[in-house]
Chain A
Amino acid sequence: MSKTSRTLVTMPTTAKKGEILEIRIIVQHDMESGFRHTETGQRVPRDIIRDFLCTYNGVEVFRVELHPAMGANPLIIFTTVATESGTLEFKWSGDNGYTSSTSSKLTVT
């Protein structure tokens, strides 16, 4: 059973060739660590995002492996170099069939 959630991306839409782009990306996810217990002593099972991948025109430029210590609604801020116009794709995948994706277009002059 696949589930998904909202994402928010902040990055410029235009850049000069060779310019460094800062990309900020936040995804809605409770990131249940698997170490919490209910009031009756039942362990709340782990349910986290495991991977984040950013591809730039199909080429991987940034990857994150997330672990239970990551807090809820993970915010990832990273940079890449503007090389050519195209699309940056962002993909998340995690426990219990979780997937999310979004993309952002970039014009490089």
Chain B
Amino acid sequence: MIKVLVICAIGMVISGVAVSRAASPSAERQSSYALMSADTKAMQDDPLLNPATFAVLDGQALWQESVGKKNRSCATCHGDATTSMKGVAASFPKFNSAKGSLVNLEGQINDCRVKHQEAEPLAYESKPLLSLSAFVGTQSKGMPITVERNAANATSLDAGQHLFNQRMGQLNLSCAQCHAERAGQKLAGNPIPQAHPTAYPIYRLEWQAVGSLQRRLRNCLTGVRAEPYALGSKELLDLELFLAWRARGMALETPGVRP
């Protein structure tokens, strides 16, 4: 069931009801949750059925594990995640002025590991990193995405928007052509979602595993037969920022289940 959603600054109302079949871009934003079957929705809604719960529990255990030369755990500095991490995932990606670059949640976790725990960073898409991002992510469940345009992220945001509208690959398609212009229509029998990153990391039934938004973006790029940007690349980060901004005000569902 979709939680209470916030009316965002530009006055859009989020609808969780019917799939829009309008040929023109929908004025209402909708999580891809609404396009799923009743069985898949039930799997996401019940933590005892949601396979991503295991990742959350693994993340909870990792939160307490002391690592690195400093022999610290996340809990050493951040204490109880249910309070300290509330709203955190919903605010990423953000511009890190000390680094001079954009950082997503996984990048922030790794920055903490390297800087404060003096441990090796976790590989993108590795189980430990996915588990930690699922655990931190779910602390923002039900809360609105709070990514806004500001002076620091403006360049990245524009770059991300440009990528979203840029035709790519052998099929010469842009993200916008499917996810903005044709959201609600079908591709190979499946309804096209509006592509809001409200549930990441997700347990994707197709993957039989938990995966990040960047994994999904790489799949899309492969789908249009473009060379996928590398995990952690500037391009994927800029796209993540744009997608989060585009979904600002929508509620986080982490961890989601998707077909």
A-side interface residues toward B, CB under 8 Å?
5-6, 8-10, 24, 26, 28, 30-31, 71-73, 75
Which candidate, B49-57, B140-148, B156-164, B191-199, is the interface stretch facing chain A? B49-57
Interface size range of chain B in the complex: 10 to 19
Determine the chain B residues whose CB is within 8 A of the CB of A8 once the complex forms. Answer: 47-49, 53-54
Interchain nearest-CB distance for A70 vs B (Å): 10
Contacting pair A73 B48 (CB below 8 A): no
B49 touches A73 (CB 8 A): no
A-B contact pairs, 27 of them (CB 8 A): A6-B54, A6-B57, A6-B58, A8-B48, A8-B49, A8-B53, A8-B54, A9-B48, A10-B46, A10-B48, A10-B49, A24-B48, A24-B49, A26-B48, A26-B49, A26-B51, A28-B51, A30-B208, A31-B208, A71-B205, A71-B208, A72-B51, A72-B208, A73-B51, A73-B54, A73-B208, A75-B51
Q: Which applies to chain A's interface (DSSP): helix, strand, loop or mixed?
A: loop
A residues less than 8 Å from B58 (CB atoms) = 6
CB-defined contacts of B48 to chain A, threshold 8 Å: 8-10, 24, 26
> Is B112 engaged at the interface, CB distance under 8 Å to the other chain?
no
What's the least CB distance linking B128 to chain A, in Å?
Answer: 14
Complex CA distance for A71 and B51, rounded to whole angstroms? 11
Residues of chain A with a CB closer than 8 A to B220's CB:
none
Residues of A within 8 A of B51 (CB): 26, 28, 72-73, 75
Decide if B208 touches A28 in the complex (CB within 8 Å): no
B209's contact among A6, A24, A26, A72, by CB below 8 Å, is which? A72
> In the bound complex, what is the Cα–Cα distance between A89 and B132 (angstroms)?
31
Tell me, rounded to whole Å, the shortest Cβ–Cβ distance linking A36 to chain B. Answer: 10
**A30: chain B residues within 8 A (beta carbon):** 208-209
Considering the chains assembled together, what is the distance between the CA atoms of A36 and B11 in angstroms? 48
Chain B residues within an 8 Å CB radius of A72: 51, 208-209
Q: Are the C-beta atoms of B208 and A75 separated by less than 8 Å?
A: no
Residues of A near B46 (CB, < 8 A) are: 10
Tell me the complex Cα distance, A108–B58, Å. Answer: 34
Contact residues, B53-85 vs A (CB, 8 A): 53-54, 57-58
Q: How far is the CA of A75 from the CA of B51 in the complex (A)?
A: 9
Cα A5 to Cα B51 with chains together (Å)? 13
- Determine the distance from Cα of A24 to Cα of B43 in the docked complex, in whole angstroms: 12
Cα distance, A5 to B57, chains bound together (Å): 11
The complex places the Cα of A71 from the Cα of B209 at a distance, in Å, of 10
Q: How far is the CB of A18 from chain B (nearest CB, A)?
A: 26
**Whole-angstrom CA separation of A8 from B48 in the bound complex:** 6
Which residue on chain A has the smallest CB distance to residue B57?
A6
A102 to chain B, nearest CB (A): 12
Q: Could you tell me the distance between the alpha carbons of A73 and B53 in the complex, rounded to whole angstroms? A: 11
Instruction: Note all chain B residues with C-beta closer than 8 A to A5.
Output: 54
With both beta carbons as reference points, the residue of chain B lying nearest to A10 in the complex is identified as: B48
Residues of A within 8 A of B209 (CB): 30, 72
- Report the minimal beta-carbon distance from B169 to chain A, rounded to whole angstroms: 21
